[in-house]
Amino acid sequence: MASMLDLAIRAMVFLGSLLMVYNIYCFVKFARYVNDRGNWEEGKASLYVPIVLLVLFLIGYLIIGIFGDPTIVMAGVLFGGSIFVFAMYHLLSRTTQRISEAEHLKAELVAAEKSNEAKSVFLASMSHEMRTPLNVILGISGVELKDSSHAERTHAQFKKIDQSARHLLDLINNVLDMNAIESGELVTKSEEFSLKSTIDQIDILSSALCEEKGLDFKATVGEDVPAWCVGDKMNIKQVLLSMLENAVKYTDAPGSVRLDANATPIDNDHKLVEFKVSDTGVGIDEEFLPRLFEAFGREDASSTTRYGGSGLSLAIAKATVEMMGGTIGVDSKKGEGSTFTVRIPLEVVQEPGPVEEPAQEDDSNDTLEGKRILIVEDIDENAEIVEDLLDLEGAVCERAENGQMAVDMFSKAQPKYYDAILMDIRMPVMDGFEATRQIRKLDHPDAQSVPIVALTANAFDSDVREALDAGMDAHLAKPTDVDLLYSTLLQRIKLSKQ
């Protein structure tokens, strides 16, 4: 019995010694690991204090095991000490590893945020730089297309230039929209709007597209579709127009395109509005349908050559619809056409009552004839294009080459001299935001009432908000639609006279 106990005591001392040697080896590796990860020039010695203590502990083991006569209690304490050190090392090692992983993830997150920020800045800059020459191209084509003296061939060439430039603009807008979705900057609005009026506008635009391509178009609105709703009018309109443009693009004459709107009740105040966009076009292969709404998704490479496009419109539509709480799906058969179904829950509101008609104004208020517009633009070509477009409507134009010049010209002008200001944003000396703020602060009778409309290549939602916060009345992105430019100026001038 005594020999068995003595053997157990010697075994614990021997195993404890071996385990302590392993512990010392582990702590040496750990000290080197920690030292390599940080600057330990001043406190480097502290990293090796535990190792020295463990070495002394091992020497004590050996002295007791060789020269001493350890009891079972002493051997148990020594062996337990080795196990405790072993457990503490692994706990410390795992804790350090988790901290290291957390730091690594944090570093990756910071790097990703910086990368996204850099990408957003790059896209914003590139958007501005690409929109600026596009503004000139579309401006010139817009002016020339309004000139009826051109020969038919010349008019057709200007139309091709205009269409190609607008196609490039669509690509730029799609890339920016996709970036806004990925960065979480795309937001939905909640406002009262006429749903039936919105569908009528889509009907007019889509009818023109189909007529130009020789397609039949029909839009139907079910009786259950509410006249007025609360939701995001612009996003709904953009999604449906994008899908209808795709339907027209992939349908050859003498085909047809349809838009059908219906609604079913959700509760007393909400309805699920369903839009179906159908065409008799090329259709989609069943195997490709699951990947149809992926960014840059294409059924085959030949579609890029034949139909063009960025491959982003359906991905953007899907993300936008889902942000509004809706769903989007598709049924299609190759060679027979496709049907896209969009369902969006909308709050139903009562149609606003009749509004008292304002007093009849002079007919001159319905045109820009004689209206004096201050164009604030640092690039000569852009200023000339806008001036030419406004000249066609009989407006009188003056130009300021930067924001400071605009402030000076306005401050010296007689009351009611300027009817409106078209303000660029990025300019030398003083930008458009600061110029607007300075004008609004002036002790001038028209400082608060003169319409200031941003006309800029800064086209992000944040740019629109910043323009309105600075005191501007509206925001138009370059290159702007000519009719939208006219209508916005007329509307703002009318409101300023009331």
Q: So what's the pLDDT on residue 304?
A: 45
Predicted confidence band of residue 360 (pLDDT cuts 50, 70, 90): very low
Res. 257: pLDDT tops 80: yes
Higher pLDDT, 241 or 30: 241
Lowest mean pLDDT among 216-220, 360-364, 371-375, 382-386: 360-364
Q: Which fold has domain 191-348?
A: Heat Shock Protein 90 (3.30.565)
Q: Are 452 and 437 in contact (CB under 8 A)?
A: no
Q: Structure pTM?
A: 0.54
pLDDT surpasses 70 at 43: no
Q: What is the pLDDT of residues 171-204, one digit of tens each?
A: 777 777 766 666 666 667 788 889 988 898 888 8
Fold of 363-497: Rossmann fold (3.40.50)
* Per-residue pLDDT tens over the stretch 292-327: 888 655 555 444 444 455 567 888 889 889 989 999
Instruction: Please give the share of the chain, as a percent, with pLDDT higher than 90.
Output: 31
Going by pLDDT thresholds of 50, 70 and 90, the confidence category of residue 377 is very high
Within 10 A of 112 (CB to CB), how many other CB atoms are there?
A: 10
Residue 216 has pLDDT above 60, yes or no: yes
Instruction: Give the rounded distance of the alpha carbon of 217 from its chain centre.
Output: 32
96 contact partners, CB below 8 Å, separation of at least 6: 30, 33, 34
User: Which has the closest alpha carbon to 405: 381, 374, 373, 450?
Assistant: 374
Q: Which residue has the higher pLDDT, 160 or 44?
A: 160
Residues sharing a CB contact under 8 Å with residue 385, sequence separation 6 or more, in sequence order: 135, 136, 139, 140, 143
Instruction: Assign 367 a pLDDT band (cuts: 50, 70, 90).
Output: confident
The domain spans of the chain are 2-111, 122-182, 191-348, 363-497
**pLDDT at residue 40 in the model:** 62
Q: Is pLDDT of 331 > 80?
A: yes
CA dist 232 and 326 (Å) reads 12
Read off the pLDDT of residues 56-96 as tens digits, 9 standing for 90 and up. Answer: 777 877 777 777 677 777 777 777 778 888 888 778 778 77
* pLDDT recorded at residue 348: 93
Residue 123 binned pLDDT confidence (cut-offs 50, 70, 90)? low
Task: Report whether pLDDT(336) > 80.
Answer: yes
